[in-house]
Amino acid sequence: MSNIVRRGIHYMPALNAAKVSAAMLEKGQSRVIDASLTLIRERAKLKGELVRALGGSKATSTLLGVPLGHNSSFLQGPAFAPPRIREAIWCGSTNSTTEEGKELQDARVLTDVGDVPIQEIRDCGVDDHRLMNVIGESVKLVMDEEPLRPLVLGGDHSISFPVIRAVSEKLGGPVDVLHLDAHPDNYDAFEGNIYSHASSFARVMEGNYVRRLLQVGIRSITAEGRAQAKKFGVEQYEMRTFSRDRHFLENLKLGEGVKGVYISIDVDCLDPAFAPGVSHIEPGGLSFRDVLNILHNLQGDVVAGDVVELNPQRDTVDGMTAMVAAKLVRELAAKISK
């Protein structure tokens, strides 16, 4: 664990040693949370005003970084991913046009409201229950500003729970979720942590925020993972049968009768030959073109999404995986914007 990640953990003993009262601590936490939400709110207002002034946009992809890594069960490097993804999105080695021909430099296609200051909030001793609420409130602040739609940069996969919950609550009903991952992330409470990145979709399904959950790319699953999928009615498409399922998955039609489609992409859905810079390396995954075919051909109103689990600390091949994550973000932005 890096010193930066450890920093917040060390603040609480110091506060306790200084005999800071619970009331004072609560007041300080609330002030930091309020300031954090104000920052997101004002950025979203500014970007929303800009997009509306430009006109002609029904939906604009809006980057929101959530640099959270402490709920990872193995390595915490995903906390450092959002700035690396942004850097790669605008890297001069490629142009700013998506494969569908949308221009990312057009603010009506892609805009950015910055990061939720996760570490600063944790430094004040805010627990995960409250932190998840802050993430969700940040997403809702983006959605308050038409036509902005959140495209969240993780972070570990635990962030998908508060984001999907917020999207569903804001829209007033469940969504369909397309989840690309090597793992189902549906443990009841992995290693005793209900907010583990390996438990995010158990929390999502418990809350009835989702009608259909399709999990694609699965190739590391336990008996509990299968039992949980059966319990929640999850549609799992494992890599061992991908050749059989390919036609169906490359012609998906989702979102009818609900509030839209949410897409969650864990970078480790890809075979590590395409994306080695992840915490959990699972051979035998999707090719990059497999993923793009699924995204490009999907029929449905994509209302939000996330790209998670890039680990820059393992991205040793000239930032290759960051470029892969950035390409996923770019193409997902094109899918959301209209």
Closest CA to 121 of 113, 130, 112: 130
Cα angle for residues 14, 18, 20 (degrees, 5° grid): 100
Q: How far apart are CA 104 and CA 85, in angstroms?
A: 14
- Count, in order, helices (H) and strands (E) of the chain: 11, 8
> Known binder of ligand: residue 268?
yes
Q: How far apart are CA 266 and CA 308, in angstroms?
A: 5
Strand partners, 218: 238
Q: How far apart are CA 70 and CA 67, in angstroms?
A: 10
Let me know: does 104 contact 94? Beta carbons within 8 Å.
no
Q: How far apart are CA 157 and CA 132, in angstroms?
A: 12
> Known binder of ligand: residue 188?
no
* DSSP 8-state assignment for residue 103: B
> What's the number of CA atoms in the CB half-sphere (13 Å) around residue 25?
18
Q: Could you tell me which residues are annotated as the binding site for Mn(2+)?
A: 157, 181, 183, 185, 266, 268
